[in-house]
Chains A and B, each alone.
Chain A
Amino acid sequence: MAPATGMSTVGRIRARLRRRFRAFITSRIPPSRVVTLNQKRIFIFPNRVGLFFGISLLVMLLAAINFQNNLSYGLTFLLTTLFIVAVLHTYSNLSGLTLRAVHAQPAFPGQQTEFELQLECSRRKEHVGIYLKWPSSNASTVNLVEVNQLRVQLHAPVGKARGWYSPGRLLVESTFPLGLLRCWSWIDLDLHALVYPKPIPSGELPGLATEQPDGAAIPIEGSDDFYGFRDYRHGDSLRQIYWKGLARGQSVQVKQYAAYADRSVWLDWDMFAGLGTEQRLSHLCYWALEFDKAGDEYGLRLPSMSIAPDIGERHLEQVLRALALYGDEEQ
């Protein structure tokens, strides 16, 4: 990154320092799905309250000196050493805490994703008032007092770009027990949320490519005649379940309609020839969602891969994931 011409010296130094710090943090606390806080990862420093306390101690010392009062000296020193003992206690409150990345909810651009992580106390001791926050997420303060592990959900907006969204480093902070010292760590839990392409409607689906893999039916436009029942398969839409039968005590059955049964659509990269990559992906995303809503079978064909037509939640996820990661080397 070449420094911009308008950048002042101070700005350059600051940027450089920030880069240095980031490199330092990365080398010290490398990304990992499970992080146990220890002396390598914990930073501790008096916070603003501690500074205020220090000033108070100074005033008390002045009073002790000016009044030549030994017990005032004693109280001042007791509070000073309490401050020092608090360093150990504050540190101990964070040390030994294990954080485990659990799950990140995929989201559409501009939406909130949910990051879930698990806190564990490895040494069976208490961790009180643990403050957790990603730079962009909401904050949460939790206690690990009577439990050995705890799940915490944090929400963060994922931004506009599709692909992997990384929330950055998680701030784990605590000032317990006295609040005079801030003890913290910036950890990278290697937790990424998948961001799907933004669904953009296109007028209609151009050049509807269909295929009959089983060589059976030709799609009957507009027809949604009842066709029969079949057993529930995981991923079937709830709307298709034959609820009345279920109420009568029969097994879970799904109503099949002629049109749905036969229609099997390929969403093809080439359908939107002439458009840009992102736009194509957005349209494909839109249609995938539409077909899923309607309960139609659909497949996806991208230059690098294809997914056979199917229905259901898992299939939709697979398709959206492929769209989200299109062009990503690491998919």
Chain B
Amino acid sequence: MKALQQIPRNALVWIIISMFTLVLPHIERIPPWVLAVYCVAALWRIMVYRGRWSFPRWPVKLGLIFAGFAGILLSFSTLVGLEPTVALLLTAFALKLLESAERKDAYVLLFLGYFVILTEFLFSQDLFIVLLSLLNVVIVTTGLVALHRPGDNRFRMRPMKQATLMVAQAAPLMLVLFFLFPRIGPLWTVPIKSQQAKTGMSEFMSPGDVSRLSRSGEVAFRVEFNGDIPARSQLYWRGLVMSRLQQGTWSALSFYEAPASERRQTEPERTGEPLRYSVILEPTQQRWLYALRYARSTDSGIMSSSDFRLFRPIVIEDDYLYQVRSWPEAAIETNLSAWRRKTELSLPATDNPRARALAAQFVEESSTPAEVVERVLRHFNAQPFVYTLQPPLLPERDAMDAFLFDTRRGFCEHYASSFVIMMRAAGIPARVVAGYQGGEVNPINRTVIVHQFDAHAWAEVWLEGEGWVRVDPTAAVAPERIELGLEEALAEEGSFLADSPLSPLRYRNIDIINTLRLRYDALTYRWQAWVVGFDQDRQFSLLQDFFGEFTARKFAAVLLGSWALVLIPVGLGLLLRRRTHELSTLDKHYLAFCRKLGKMGIERDFGETPQEFASRAQQALPRLAASIGDITKRYNTLAYAPPGANETELRDFIRTVRTIH
């Protein structure tokens, strides 16, 4: 009874291995002391096993548990949320190891391990993470198998073979379940990833924000067009529309800041053929979505705002797939409401006097608003403005004056911001639009990869009869930014991804690295489109495509049928499986002896007895006649002796075989 309940040594080794492979994907989000606890716990447990130390007594255990809680509270300043939960789980894993003496403790440990794997997916659904997690599933299962092989007292790979086999057999059944299991909405609200940094554009934009973002080579989103990909210069991915300027910072108006009558979007006339595309957005921890103008989406859970953006009421915490149709030629909001006009014209009363004066001068010199726009753009183009990722710091007050008249070095947000200020000063409704511009076309799967460094800010001005018109002042300064992308625009400066020397994007000129990067990206896209983005809608349409009207009866038939298809062969294979016939040491060496003679030209025939073979060989090789006779005699004796009886004679036999040359 006792022996049954103990943890075999092999299982202990596997548990300790799993402990470290489980922590691997979490390493960036747990405090370093958890790792230290891990190492100490593993060392302690090994020392207990070797009989040097003893298991911690209960006051020590209690102390450790309290210390663990206190440590997590100190590190995260809360116990609620995903990261503290993960740290807690991992600490619990380490501490549980310290008191694992019996099989039942090991069960708790290993099941905890499965949970740790699950928590990893809540942070990342990256393909690489998934492969690592799959390996972790196999390792934890190996621990479970090793636990049930009593008497395995040294490290063995054998349980891993069994675990791998079982996971491999389970995988096809899992796929069936994955695609058939009905998806329902969340049952209750769950803790959000409190610590997760918001990525991408922020709700506020002050000079320097977009240029900071443009230092990152991370992917913001990927787009797949149904049909041709529009020209790069047309890819203005609108994310935020910033209508309010406060203390030099632009911000978007929230849904509820608009009066009720202004919340509804005025439906523009849809002219021309729409662009159809789907976007997979990397988690942003924000609510807005990116799309080309004028965008509509029929996906459930996507809303449109009165400034013609798409957004989601729920924060985007995971990769998010959505379908969009855009009419780039549609004129939006040709009739401007009084409130809207007032909002889009408002400007802090006394800021940036020189910019206002310049705007007033332009108004005087032109007859129409369109001409004013033209003049400002010409001003940017004619004056020595520089497009740079490293703009000089601007003063707090009248920052745009300092930019327009003194430094004249800036990134897109400087140009957009100063442009809109001048427009408003000139009495033309205008606003800043933040989002991404351009994107890299992946030739492998024809997706457009939009990186963080494609972040961009531009402007929209309202012109009578035309509605909101996009104006990109950056294009007036650095047209190559729009035509070719940031890297080309900054070629002289050499500041492109200067902070990430290891980013594969920096080595795009090396063919093989670039091909590998694009292949991996295509794979990631496929993965995200099929697995990560799989939801109720897609499940429904997939099942409809395959089975037509999907009834409960068909559901049961498909589930059971496909399972039977896998389980019956597996079951038959298991029940009819024979242990692979392993040669005994004796036979192995006898066959080696036969091979040696074979090389000398004497092959043993099929079905020839050792004795017959020996006499034939003796005649052919008189030089070896004595040893051939000796070996054959020894072989015959040993072959019929009870196994394990004649260890020394077996060794002698092997030695004699080795002497044959």
Contact = CB atoms under 8 A, between A and B. Distances in A.
- Most A-side CB within 10 Å, residue of B125, B167, B174: B174
Contact of B114 (A49, A75, A92, A139): A75
B150 A95 contact: no
B144 A67 contact: no
Contacts of B27: none
Nearest to B163: A177
B166 interface: yes
Contacts of B167: 78, 82
Interface stretch (A57-65, A196-204, A269-277): A57-65
Interface string B200-226: 000000000000000000000000000
A62 B367 CA distance: 65
B173 A85 contact: yes
B255 interface: no
Contacts of A53: 111
B3 A141 contact: yes
B61 interface: no
Contacts of A85: 166, 169-170, 173, 567, 570
Interface in A76-96: 76-82, 84-86, 88-89, 91-92, 95-96
B137 interface: yes
Interface in B151-210: 151, 159, 162-163, 166-167, 169-171, 173-174, 177-178, 181, 184-190
B661 interface: no
Contact of B166 (A63, A74, A89, A129): A89
Contacts of B144: 177-179
Nearest to B570: A88
Contact of A82 (B141, B150, B318): B141
A71 B149 contact: no
Interface string B1-36: 101100000000000000000000000000000000
B190 A126 contact: no
Nearest to B123: A69
Contacts of A125: 577-579
A52 B107 contact: yes
Contact of A49 (B107, B173, B578): B107
B490 interface: no
Contact of B186 (A68, A80, A88): A68
Contact of B571 (A63, A88, A175): A88
B133 interface: yes
B535 A72 contact: no
Interface string A233-276: 00000000000000000000000000000000000000000000
Contacts of B189: 66
Interface residues of B, number: 62
A81 B173 contact: yes
Chain A contact patch, size range: 35 or more
A223 interface: no
A316 to B, nearest CB: 32
Contact of A62 (B149, B185, B187, B531): B187
A56 interface: yes
B356 interface: no
A96 B3 CA distance: 25
A79 B136 CA distance: 12
B318 A68 contact: yes
B566 to A, nearest CB: 9
A40 interface: no
A82 to B, nearest CB: 4
Given A75-B133, A77-B177, A77-B181, A56 B567 contact: no
A128 B107 CA distance: 19
A139 B4 CA distance: 9
B376 interface: no
B149 A176 contact: yes
A86 B3 CA distance: 23
Interface string B618-661: 00000000000000000000000000000000000000000000
Contacts of A212: none
- List of 8 A-B pairs having minimum Cβ-Cβ separation, nearest first: A81-B173, A71-B121, A81-B170, A92-B574, A77-B177, A176-B148, A82-B170, A78-B174
29 contacts: A49-B104, A53-B111, A60-B118, A64-B118, A66-B189, A67-B186, A68-B318, A69-B122, A69-B125, A70-B533, A74-B178, A74-B531, A75-B114, A75-B121, A85-B173, A85-B570, A86-B166, A89-B166, A89-B574, A91-B574, A124-B578, A128-B149, A141-B150, A176-B148, A177-B148, A177-B166, A178-B141, A179-B144, A179-B148
Interface of A: 49, 52-53, 56, 59-60, 62-82, 84-86, 88-89, 91-92, 95-96, 121, 123-126, 128-129, 131, 138-139, 141, 143, 175-179
Given A70-B125, A85-B166, 19 more contacts: A53-B111, A56-B111, A60-B118, A68-B186, A69-B125, A69-B318, A70-B535, A75-B114, A77-B174, A77-B177, A80-B177, A84-B170, A84-B173, A124-B581, A138-B1, A141-B3, A143-B151, A178-B148, A179-B148
